[in-house]
Structure 1
Amino acid sequence: MAATSARALELLSLLVARDGWTGSELARRLDVSVRTLRRDIETLRALGYPVAAMKGPEGGYRLAPGTKLPPLQFDDEQAIALAVALQTAPATVSGHTDAAARALTTVKQVMPAHLQAEVDALYLTAIRNYWAFGAPPVEPATLKAVGNAVRASHRLRFDYLTQTGHRPHPADRDFEPPLEVEPHHLVLWAGRWYLVAYQTRDAGWGIYRVDRIHPRSPTGAPFTRRELPAGNVADYVMSSHDRGDTLAPWPCLGTVLIDLPADIVARWAPSGAVVEYLTATSCRFTLGAWSWAGVAGLLATFDADFTILDPPELTHACQQLAIRYHAATGRGPRSEESTIPRR
């Protein structure tokens, strides 16, 4: 009886999720025969849910419009997705931090213990970059493995994919063996997931793109948590130029030498840009946009001197932008103190 009731609830959630299913689709999703499906449909009808039959070659079922539903029911994957969304909501929707926190607490209170553990494993710091663009997706299994290691304070062993997404192989000329780290924090920054971890082999802290992590089997080896290299983990990720970022596939990409520290540029750079440390007061900066004028405009927001390395199209765009600005003001350019905060 318990299995039948659970299956009826799952059937109801499927009917709510889509405006019509064929009988064979529903039977396959529920892993039952078409005959058992018909019995479950009759169970819902007996409970007062108007499940209408649809005509067609295969036939099908749908809920009648205006159906009054029971309290929301979520399967395990939906519950985890909802909890992660609520954790990241403060980073994307202004003014909803408290409401999202209360909603997350409510959802967790009614979760089974094993799901609460998974949600706790995905506790993260969510921070926003106003230049955020699309980022590569992260496999749920990878996020779960990394989150579990962070929560349990267990060493994490993984292959770190190349910038092109290739998994290292011993036959590769530049083969790098799997990394083993002490995972401390998951951070969501500019639409990308990062792991802040201490690497014992190199005796130093590192930031790893989670979409480039390919976990090995869990080690189960505990570690003692260390003091972070910065007082605030979010600030540490935002101001680190060496966080494994790769260039986004923009149609226009330009590179400059800019007279700003790498940590300042990294904090304000668009997602998908790459910042390389050169000196304490300068860095190499590669960024992209849909047009060369867009690249030139983004560079202008840093309000700092820069030298264009390539390509010539960026030089031309900057020249055109300078002419346009000059015409708009009717005056020659003037130098003012930079508005970008320095350290």
Structure 2
Amino acid sequence: MSQDLPARMLRLLSLLQTRRTWTGDELADRLGVTLRTIRRDIDRLRGLGYPVQGTTGTAGGYRLTSGADVPPLLLDDDEAVAIAVALRTATRGVARIEETAVRALAKLEQVLPVRLRHQVTTIQAAAAPLPVPWGTGPTADPTVLATLAAACRDHEIVTFTYRTSGGETGPRRVEPHALVAADPVWYFVAHDIDRDGWRLFRVDRLTDPAPTGHRVTPRELPNPDAATYVAARLAAAPARYTFHATVPADAETVRARTWSLPGRVQPVDDHTSTLDLAADNPHHIAEQLLGIDLGPDDTIHGTLELAPHLEQLGKRLLRAANALTRQDDQSKQRDGPDARHGP
């Protein structure tokens, strides 16, 4: 019996990590032991530093909570590989995480079995990040992200202070739905209780998040998923500069070459699309246009104030092209007409 005890406790710990709350009877049934044995194993886990809390209610139960120290975590193979890959990429848009990720990765890889270490290396070699040209911006606090993620997981109402784009600051009380990373900005999708509607919050403008302990039934999002909702909201947001054009290419190609949100590119037919760009920074639009050929002049419309910025970028590129041409001419004059053919 004593030889089976460590394995049973590991299974018990694994169960506690997969769900917020378990009743004692559920745990006993899963492990094939008595309720008394479950209570004894729970006490032993607590003695090892695992913060297992007893819950009140009709049947009572147990849940793994946060403690003063970090006890060992039990990970299956897939979870260990996923965490190692995420640490190697050192999540963009999260403040102060790069150095911490390196330290955590070193600890994890030290204990990974060789077969899993090989999987991590293989995945990392095949997955190259492709940041957008303007992939710098405000970073989110990892503690804030963790609090919001837990609230999303537990469907628990959360409160926080939010600063709008106009600079107004005030309290919010929301039903959380999901976090979306739109490199490099993190967005929090939630249903605002006081305003009775879905809202999109930038995490870098959000402070002092606090779970309330009140859990709710998840609402149905008005889009297929959170990422689609964020993309639609961002595409519909007003901006200082706009640019519209008909492009002689299919929608998928245009979307890929301009790094556009799905709603910004619409197909006309198999070989033509409409492009609708908007940004507060004119250089963003200019850089997006570099990857495509535009259609007829009469299909191009937009903010007049954008024209000087596009012209400026065009002049810079033309100057660079002229410099390369002059360099080639000078090289030919220096080497002579027969230099390419050798003696």
TM-score, structure 1 as length reference: 0.41
Q: Which has the larger radius of gyration?
A: 2
